[in-house]
Structure 1
């Protein structure tokens, strides 16, 4: 039997305990009963929700810092969506709209968008500025930076 991991619900932000070997079996939140993984990026425009996902998730968290007016961000969005379906449940995939949450853009010194940032154990371990329009490229970039 595998160790339980803390997984934050993308719907109600409750921290759940899920065994690692059960991640792929569509676990649901003990609080709101919604799926813990949807195969879509989670919008983390609220600073409190963002902090909880980064600090409490015991799986890597990939964040796309973007803005609605940004052409390259819009070009990358479909690839990021497809990458989310591939990466979950091994990686929580999230988006931060820097217009809705400017404090997060400032805190992480986001100078250009889109910027991908990968967090492991609450710490940023990798950053990639610029649009990646191929889902496989995003998945490969994450795999290259996630500790085995």
Structure 2
């Protein structure tokens, strides 16, 4: 892809698709709502918003499927935030609460949580279950995105 042409990036606030040149990705703002496209933190999503990211964002999308009652999920939450700081804007990190959105668990065949799924070009490209440290998340995600 031409660096000046830009890649499609979905706004985590309003869902608008933005074309962002690679050189400006880190500080990019949404053309519709003016919010930052990347905050260095995972964005919470529901199933509809997740499907928009997966189908429209041209960068890899890493999703943490979790639930508030899950102790390993709560332990991994700050690790996922740390990983987002290192992986964004090259990769989008999202969190989906499977208790609030049980249809997502069925749709993506989530058998245990936490489960991370990496999507690229509209398809699942890798999956990992179990809590991980930030460095392990980063290493796994980068390796899986190749």
TM-score in same-fold range (> 0.5)? yes
In the superposition, the TM-score normalised over structure 1's length comes to 0.94
After superposition, residues 15-94 of structure 1 pair within 5 angstroms as 15-24=17-26, 26-45=27-46, 47-94=47-94
In structure 1, how many angstroms separate the alpha carbons of the residues matched to 2:51 and 2:116?
Answer: 16
Matched residue of 1:105: which SS?
helix
In structure 1, how many angstroms separate the alpha carbons of the residues matched to 2:59 and 2:125?
Answer: 13
Deviation of 1:78 (Å): 0.8
**Where has structure 1 moved over 3 Å in runs of 4 or more?**
none
Q: Return 5+ residue gaps in structure 1 as ranges.
A: none
CA RMSD of aligned residues (A): 0.9
1:142 correspondence with 2:132:
no
Deviation of 1:23 (Å): 1.3
In structure 1, how many angstroms separate the alpha carbons of the residues matched to 2:79 and 2:129?
Answer: 15
The total of aligned residue pairs comes to: 144
In structure 1, how many angstroms separate the alpha carbons of the residues matched to 2:39 and 2:79?
Answer: 16
In structure 2, how many angstroms separate the alpha carbons of the residues matched to 1:63 and 1:127?
Answer: 10
Deviation of 1:21 (Å): 2.3
Deviation of 1:20 (Å): 1.9
In the superposition, the TM-score normalised over structure 2's length comes to 0.96
